Amino acid sequence: MDLVVRSRRVVLPEGVRPAAVAIAGGTIAAVASPDEAFPGAQEIGAGEAVVMPGLVDSHVHVDDPGRAEWEGFETAGRAAAAGGTTTIVDMPLNSVPPTTTLSALAAKVAAASGTCRVDFGLWGGIVPGNGAELAALLEAGVLGFKAFLVPSGVEEFPPVDDEELGAAMARLAGAGAGAPVLVHAEDAEALARADGGTLAAHPASCAAWRASRPGVAEARAVARVAALARRTGARAHVVHVAGAEALAEVARARAAGLALTAETCPHYLAFTAAEVPDGDTRFKCAPPIRGEEDRDALWRGLFDRTLDLVASDHSPCPPELKPPGDFARAWGGIAGLELRLPVVWTEGRQRGATLADLAHWLAAAPARLAGLAARKGRIAPGLDADLVIWDPEAERTIDGRDLHQRHGSTPWEGRTLSGVVETTILRGRVVHDRGTFPGSPGGRWLRGSRSGRALAAAGSAA
């Protein structure tokens, strides 16, 4: 054995217990009793600290290449490792070019290789006119595809209509590829009917921003995605569910037996609209942060498994793109990659969440969505030796200057969170230890195993 990690609290698929996790060649070789001897192995004694599977974040916007001044793989990898995340899955936007073609995929891999400190997977994109690219992207290793039903915020990644999205989903389902289609679900017609005039007149008003992106727009779009999943038989996944209305549509689809999964994000679980000060654009995201009843519904959805997972939707930008006092012009994204674990733990423990719940929401379920469950997301023999050692009782007051993302702006500034990451281990190697980052970046590209050949054949036959 190369390394043995011992703790009184190891979070295993069957529960939390004392154990020794033995690692050889970057893989978990054994989960043994806490006092079993492994002569010659390096030892990490975690004591009462929690040892959990390395976290998997399936919704990260790294923006590299093309907008690395927003975020790059070097800084995103540091933020991930500092937050206990050992695998990120990058969204096909806001990089330039977006990951909608084979050449763009190659550019993305080149930007990440030798730069990222954690392992990374890549989603491809579905945009108007790129249907012929999907098979090649899948064959090359993307893990699935992302689409928008409304403008994405960047002109390089336009939205698709139901016909375009349905055609892509039908091709994926018909070929048996099994790759999920992730959808930003807001309804353009409902947004057009919303009260956008008030936001234009009162750009500092958080209430006006919220009124311009109402819950009904989310709910109607989720219903559309569910209908497409029913018609095509494809796997669909709704990203960043923000409110009770959309959650109810997810529940209906699940009750009907559809292959539809869904996620929410730390900011929707932590904040309510009443807590967002007017003019504080650090809180701007789309869909917006909603009311207390919506937050409570999302927590219920996690506990009853209507919602599968919590992803960060890490969407950073330079500070000048979030001008204070202007919700109309500010970039709609929150950077939360490093803080996902302490935010969810701080809020969740008050509601009865367990360490096992955390491991499911933040590791096992995201790995399953991305098709990585055979390697990531659990502590079990044969899987990659990805671990996070953290103290759930320790507290940290957030100072954006201490965060490892490219820009320190954060809506959690000044908040005290429970749960401090001590050590992060990627494939048996320490990549973060109490604020330091040993060694050089060694993150690997995690290619998907779903073949695009059957998809290409299905497309040719059609």
The closest alpha carbon to 63, from 25, 90, 103, belongs to: 90
Instruction: State mean pLDDT over 38-65.
Output: 97
CA 275/CA 269 separation, integer angstroms = 13
Query: DSSP letter string over 156-225?
Result: TS----HHHHHHHHHHHHHTT----EEEE---HHHHHHS-HHHHHH-TT-HHHHHHHS-HHHHHHHHHHH
More confident residue, 457 or 337: 337
DSSP-derived secondary structure letter, 100: S
Residue 376 scores a pLDDT above 90: yes
pLDDT at 461: 38
Instruction: State mean pLDDT over 377-395.
Output: 98
Instruction: State mean pLDDT over 95-111.
Output: 97
Q: Which residues pair with 4 in a beta bridge?
A: 22, 43
pLDDT at 61: 98
Instruction: State mean pLDDT over 273-278.
Output: 96
Tokens of 205: 């008003």
pLDDT at 451: 65
- Apex 427 CA angle, 29 and 435, nearest 5: 130
Residue 460 scores a pLDDT above 60: no
Instruction: State mean pLDDT over 87-105.
Output: 97
342: confidence class by pLDDT, cuts 50, 70, 90: very high
Residue 253 scores a pLDDT above 90: yes
Instruction: State mean pLDDT over 104-114.
Output: 97
pLDDT at 6: 98
Sheet containing 55-60, strands listed edge to edge, beginning at the edge strand earlier in sequence? 55-60, 85-90, 119-122
pLDDT at 178: 85
CA 2/CA 384 separation, integer angstroms = 14
Give tens-digit pLDDT for 388-416: 999 999 999 999 999 999 999 999 999 99
Q: Where are the domains positioned within the chain? A: 54-378+392-398
CA 357/CA 282 separation, integer angstroms = 28
Residue 137 scores a pLDDT above 50: yes
Identify whether the C-beta of residue 412 lies closer than 8 Å to the C-beta of residue 265: no
pLDDT at 258: 95
What does the mean pLDDT of the chain come to? 95
Q: How far is CA 34 from the centre of its chain?
A: 33
Instruction: State mean pLDDT over 378-393.
Output: 98
Q: Please name the fold of domain 54-378+392-398.
A: TIM Barrel (3.20.20)
Tokens of 417: 């969170």
Q: What is the pTM of this model?
A: 0.97
